[in-house]
Structure 1
């Protein structure tokens, strides 16, 4: 049997999705993460205005939904390709 099962993949650093429940882009990111069995933490910006204010500072102004943090790398409204690329980079072992 070839291939790598999801359980054999190296663990990645934390993934956090900041978004709004009514945002279709946020829903798409969450569906993608679930389909790839990538654990993530969801932060509802409507229910957590302090997180929205912090993101506005990090992103340099207005908060666009979703914002995804992959191991500290911040992606603003990422495409699935950009998200996949960041996840792939986060799974790579760090050279010693």
Structure 2
């Protein structure tokens, strides 16, 4: 996938057993939330964690995505803001 001109937020997370159990109990609640952002690309997923990439319109929106996603409270949570003129994502 190639995208010219944009700001992207890359979120990496890993879940421990407690966080996985909590995720199962709130999964219905998360589905009912009116989400205004959509998943642009999923780079990697397994039962213990994954990588998600969102597109943002500006830095303020990128900060909102970073702090308001279901994985922001995970123990092993990291993020990157990618804002180059040309970003190429390949498997």
Give the TM-score of the pair, scaled to structure 2: 0.30
Structure with larger RCO (C-alpha < 8 A, sep 6+): 2
Between Structure 1 and Structure 2, which shows a larger proportion of helix residues?
1
Between Structure 1 and Structure 2, which shows a larger proportion of strand residues?
2
Give the TM-score of the pair, scaled to structure 1: 0.29
